[in-house]
Amino acid sequence: MDARTSRYRSVYDRWQRDPEGFWGEAAQAIDWYEQPKKIFDRSAGVYGRWFADGVCNTCYNAIDRHVAQGRGAQPALIYDSPVTNTKRRITYAELLDEVKSYAAILRDFGVQKGDRVIIYMPMVPEALYAMYACARIGAVHSVVFGGFAAKELATRIDDAKPKLMITASCGIEPGRTVAYKPLLDEAIKLASHKPEFVLLLQRPQLEAAMIAGRDHDLAQLRAAALRDGKSAECVPLAATDPLYILYTSGTTGIPKGVVRDNGGHMVALRWSMENLYGVAPGETYWAASDIGWVVGHSYIVYAPLFHGCTSILYEGKPVGTPDAGAFWRVIADHGVAALFTAPTAFRAIKKEDPQGKLLAGYDLSKFRTLFLAGERADPDTIQWAENILKVPVLDHWWQTETGWCIAGNPVGLGQLPVKYGSACVPMPGYDVQVLDEAHKPVGPGKMGAIVVKLPLPPACLPTLWQQDERFKESYLAEFPGYYKTADAGFIDEEGYLFIMSRTDDIINVAGHRLSTGGMEEVLASHPDVAECAVVGIKDELKGEVPCGFIVLKAGVKRQPAEIEKEIVGLVREKIGPVAAFKLAITVNRLPKTRSGKILRGTMKKIADHDAWSMPATIDDPAILDEIAAALKTRGLGG
Ligand code: COA
Ligand code: AMP
């Protein structure tokens, strides 16, 4: 752990001196049909494009290449599902056969290069087969997390306009089977765009009813494809062709369709496996996330396979499936070298097993590093994990938009000293700066808006799906020449980054990114609500949880408690259980500035017991006392 022995500084300097040379070299680790001659084309796309004249295929690099090079018998995926009592190893050769037939099935339904396919599935291997099959034939997948409700799915259907959707009959949450099919049917009903076909995986835990003509049984299709020897080969694609669209919360209820390309994505992710995560081909890598999130896309589905690793697909939770020793069991059973998860998972384990007693008896000898991301890693949790696991615990910072780490501790290049509360240092490709309101760099240790100088490195979003203008407006307009991360924080004297908060209305609930603006839209839609405000308040387990304040319309005679219950149900119905919206509080008035802006920040500080000062522009200071009193009735605030 010595900054002097790490190669980080020299590698970062090398990138800064010659970014194109750096990424051109990194691109050699990928198999191309046509090698890119132009590494970065400034004239293409919104801010330029990487490897614009390269021709490649993501599925080929994830699967076929390894079979061709003798890795066929190695597990590519290990499906470990405590909720169904299943463990299955899928070798690279078996995976290739599955994906070839899935790709042939898609092709038989008329799916072609550029067509969109929405995948709404739990954590089962078939979801990954579907993703790789899309990549194989150049279709653009869009995976929607299972915890979202029908309306959220409908919004994504209308934006992506899929030709076909792939789903499963159910997901399995501890103590509850979630029927996916009725949600999907409802979403298609709500959407204006109607996908032609639905392919459905029937799970024995809860079978779904099929709609004749539109719905098709995936297992039957697979059996027929295998019987008939159907297979589809990889389609050569431009490096800049889209691989997938992943929707993420924006500042309104309309999610942003983050686009990922093929070439840059492979180059950066492959680089990260060796240099950031420090794992070697053949080793087992585990991202304990969900394929519905970017961490799942990048580090369950794609990067480990680009690098010839074995990736774990875990259908379970850190606690309750069956206990807080589940992670240690998986690490030991499969010889995991590196685990990547969100701090909230470790807070959940710490809460149930503070002494780490459940570690006893598990062989963690192959386990070298724990990586955390998705939300700020609190020093307590990091130290607790270090103490019980005796391995480095490394925070790193990234976003759905970037697809890989912006700042982290690159163990592959030689680990740097850990500073608690810091996400560590920028990765090559990212010139990270902290600017003030006048767009001037602030000095070391001073808080400001965190931005990245353009161009963004390979794998980062080139644009939003069919919305170049929204992309420019959301990310590039405020700080010309820079990408706005919408995070605030500071850089210390030694170049370490500290990510402190968002500058917009996004909150992070158990590592899941949600928009409070989107929730306010739902609250406001209740017929008895005159106005509302949603803020993220501190939560010991989930980091943050949403708290909604509502003002009822004049003349409403119903009991506030009854309306609050309906509001909680409404958010679950419209956004989904993932929002974890359980707190609705009726107040007489909301605190505002004289110009009518709701003082959400001050309300949050009161709820969080943080120091706060009376905003100079407040209209009526007494309202803050009313908010504090209302919070107190729920045991919140100070
Ligand atoms: N399908 C349907 N419902 C889902 C779902 C899915 N795929 N995933 C979660 N949900 C539901 C849960 O059942 C829960 O519903 P409930 O309100 O009826 O209990 C709700 O959505 C909230 O889920 P979750 O955020 O997972 O909270 P939890 O209380 O069930 O578990 C943790 C808390 C900390 C154990 C859990 O959040 C966790 O494992 N986090 C790991 C971090 C992670 O995966 N981050 C992703 C980015 S790295
Ligand atoms: P998502 O797009 O879901 O990955 O969420 C991205 C946001 O999560 C970032 O903009 C940050 O606000 C937050 N985030 C992710 N990782 C970290 C981290 N290591 N430290 C602090 N915040 C983080």
pLDDT, tens digit, 9 for 90 and up, residues 213-235: 999 999 999 999 999 999 999 99
**How far is it, in rounded angstroms, from Cα 498 to Cα 34?**
41
Q: Which atom of ligand 1 is nearest to the CA of 578?
A: 21
Listed in order, strand segments (DSSP E) in 528-638 are 529-539, 543-552, 583-586
Residue 1 above 70 pLDDT? no
Residue ranges per structural domain of the chain: 3-316+396-485, 506-633
Distance 317 CA to ligand 2 centre (A): 20
To test the pocket of ligand 2, the residue of 148, 258, 295, 398 to mutate (highest count of ligand atoms within 8 Å of its CB) is 398
Q: What would be the CATH architecture of the domain defined by 506-633?
A: 2-Layer Sandwich (3.30)
Ligand 2 near 133 CB (within 6 A)? no
Q: Which atom of ligand 1 is nearest to the CA of 145?
A: 7
Taking each helix axis from N to C end, the angle separating 263-275 and 19-26, rounded to the nearest 10 degrees, works out to 80
User: What element of type H or E holds 19?
Assistant: helix 19-26
Residue nearest to atom 33 of ligand 1 (CA): 510
Average pLDDT over residues 283-300: 97
Report pLDDT for 252.
Answer: 67
- Percentage of the chain exceeding pLDDT 70: 99
> pLDDT by residue (tens digit) across 162-189?
999 999 999 999 889 999 999 999 999 9
Report pLDDT for 2.
Answer: 67
Ligand 1 near 290 CB (within 6 A)? yes
CB 410 within 8 A of CB 395: no
- Nearest ligand, measured from the Cα of 343: 1
Ligand 1 near 575 CB (within 6 A)? no
CB 467 within 8 A of CB 265: no
Average pLDDT over residues 509-529: 93
> pLDDT by residue (tens digit) across 445-497?
999 999 999 999 999 999 999 999 999 999 999 999 999 999 999 999 999 99
Residue 103 above 90 pLDDT? yes
Band of the pLDDT at 613, cuts 50, 70, 90? confident
Average pLDDT over residues 113-141: 98
Band of the pLDDT at 277, cuts 50, 70, 90? very high
Average pLDDT over residues 556-570: 96
Residue nearest to atom 14 of ligand 2 (CA): 375
**How far is it, in rounded angstroms, from Cα 579 to Cα 402?**
23
Ligand 2 near 487 CB (within 6 A)? yes
Q: Which atom of ligand 2 is nearest to the CA of 401?
A: 2
Cβ count near 559 (within 10 Å):
10
Band of the pLDDT at 22, cuts 50, 70, 90? very high
SS (H, E, C) 491-516: ECCCCCEEEEEECCCEEEECCEEEEH
**b/e per residue 338-362 (b: at least 16 CB within 10 A):** bbbbbbbbbbbbbeebeebebbeeb
Overall residue count recorded for the chain in this entry: 638
Residue 599 above 80 pLDDT? yes
Ligand 1 near 171 CB (within 6 A)? yes
Ligand 2 near 256 CB (within 6 A)? no
Residue 251 above 90 pLDDT? no
Q: Which atom of ligand 1 is nearest to the CA of 176?
A: 13
Residue nearest to atom 42 of ligand 1 (CA): 342
Burial (Cβ within 10 Å: 0-12, 13-18, ≥19) of residue 43: exposed
Distance 553 CA to ligand 2 centre (A): 37
CB 206 within 8 A of CB 169: yes
Residue nearest to atom 9 of ligand 2 (CA): 399
Nearest to 454 by CA among 83, 46, 180, 132: 46
Q: What angle do CA 62, 66, 67 make, to 5 degrees?
A: 115
pTM of the model: 0.95
Ligand 2 near 374 CB (within 6 A)? yes
Q: Is domain 3-316+396-485 annotated with CATH 3.40.50.12780?
A: yes
User: What element of type H or E holds 340?
Assistant: strand 336-341
Cα 106 to Cα 226, 243, 546, 584, distances in angstroms? 14, 16, 40, 45
Band of the pLDDT at 596, cuts 50, 70, 90? confident
Average pLDDT over residues 543-567: 96
Ligand 2 near 98 CB (within 6 A)? no
**How far is it, in rounded angstroms, from Cα 618 to Cα 624?**
10
Omega of the bond prior to 322 within 30 degrees of 0, cis? yes
Band of the pLDDT at 249, cuts 50, 70, 90? confident
Distance 145 CA to ligand 1 centre (A): 11
Residue 142 above 70 pLDDT? yes
Cβ count near 540 (within 10 Å):
10
Q: Which atom of ligand 1 is nearest to the CA of 340?
A: 48
> pLDDT by residue (tens digit) across 40-85?
999 999 999 999 999 999 999 999 999 999 999 999 999 999 999 9
Distance 318 CA to ligand 1 centre (A): 10
Ligand 2 near 578 CB (within 6 A)? no
Nearest to 401 by CA among 246, 242, 578, 241: 246
Average pLDDT over residues 600-623: 90
Band of the pLDDT at 616, cuts 50, 70, 90? confident
Residue nearest to atom 9 of ligand 1 (CA): 147
Distance 341 CA to ligand 1 centre (A): 13
Average pLDDT over residues 186-195: 98
Band of the pLDDT at 543, cuts 50, 70, 90? very high
**How far is it, in rounded angstroms, from Cα 446 to Cα 426?**
17
Report pLDDT for 615.
Answer: 87
β-strands 237-238, 215-217 pairing:
unpaired
Residue 253 above 70 pLDDT? no
* Average per-residue pLDDT for the chain: 96
